[in-house]
Amino acid sequence: MELKDFFAERPKAALAFSGGVDSAYLLYAASQWGADVRPYFVDTAFQPRFELADARRLCGELGVTLQVLPVDILSVPSVAENPADRCYHCKKAIFSAIASAAARDGYPLLLDGTNASDPEEDRPGMRALRELEVRSPLRECGLTKGEIRRLSREAGLFTWDKPAYACLATRIPAGEAVTAEALARTEQAEDFLRTLGLRDFRVRLLDGCARIQVPVAQLPLALARRGEIISELRKSYSGVLLDLEARNE
């Protein structure tokens, strides 16, 4: 099945929209095939401000109205307590909020941007999507991450080379409570590293220290800006560590 066939059969749907590569292309494709797909961005403490800015920018360029749903995700005990399956409880809360809003707006079908490259094992977050009967057109149509980036570039979408981004809560070890303070500290640290030209990195919390993970190609840049990084991050962390087991690019 191709995307045009998917939208021909399901011309009206709601989309869980993050402003990332996958959901951006899915929204673009829906608009190209004449489908009425309404994007919903769930605004929580887990999403950094740049994600909402990107979501608004993309929708503006496509001429689509973005629905922003504020959700107090830290008020959900099974999320804030950060158990090993936190992602399940978080996805359940977020997609339930979208489903409720979309149903009120007349959109009974809910889509997300899972693609054919995403792991198929029984991850907690995927379980939540199945329970809520969320459809994933990119996966169903066999579109991989690489293909989506290529098609996005051809379409002129600014998101085509945007690094994959996991929510801020993933920076906090499982079992350690997720707090607004810890999330804000993480976002501030990552915003600073972004100003230095680093991309596709993570600042993880480790026993009060900032554990920085960057792709191997960016290790020289991180080391070259070592003094600035230490000076800035020591304002919020007890120590600053650079992980030599670099992130996969």
Check whether residue 95 and residue 195 sit in a common domain.
Answer: no
What is the token pair recorded at 248?
A: 């996969």
Please tell me the least confidently modeled range out of 37-46, 47-56, 238-247. 238-247
Q: Is residue 31 part of a domain?
A: yes
Q: Is residue 204 part of a domain?
A: yes
DSSP state of 215: B
Question: Is the pLDDT confidence value at 204 over 60?
Answer: yes
What is the per-residue pLDDT for 165? Answer: 85
pLDDT tens digits for range 86-114: 999 999 999 999 999 999 999 999 999 99
Q: Using an 8 Å Cβ cutoff, are 172 and 202 in contact?
A: no
* CATH (domain of 61): 3.40.50.620
Overall number of domains in the chain? 2
Q: Taking the chain, what is the end-to-end CA distance rounded to the nearest angstrom?
A: 30
DSSP state of 57: H
**196: left (phi > 0), else alpha (psi -120 to 50), else beta?**
alpha
Confidence band for 119, pLDDT divided at 50, 70 and 90: confident
Question: Is the pLDDT confidence value at 247 over 80?
Answer: no
What is the per-residue pLDDT for 121? Answer: 63
Question: Is the pLDDT confidence value at 40 over 80?
Answer: yes
Q: Is residue 66 part of a domain?
A: yes
Average pLDDT, the chain: 94
What is the per-residue pLDDT for 127? Answer: 87
Check whether residue 103 and residue 205 sit in a common domain.
Answer: no
Q: What is the helix (H) or strand (E) element at residue 12, kind and residue range? A: strand 12-16
Check whether residue 153 and residue 196 sit in a common domain.
Answer: no
* CATH (domain of 203): 3.30.70
Confidence band for 123, pLDDT divided at 50, 70 and 90: confident
Cα separation, 116 vs 178, whole angstroms: 31
What is the token pair recorded at 104?
A: 């009120």
3-state secondary structure of 168: helix
Q: Which domain holds residue 78?
A: 3-161
| CA geometry: angle 183, 190, 76, nearest 5 deg | 20
3-state secondary structure of 198: coil
Question: What percent of the chain is predicted at pLDDT more than 70?
Answer: 98
Q: Is residue 170 part of a domain?
A: no
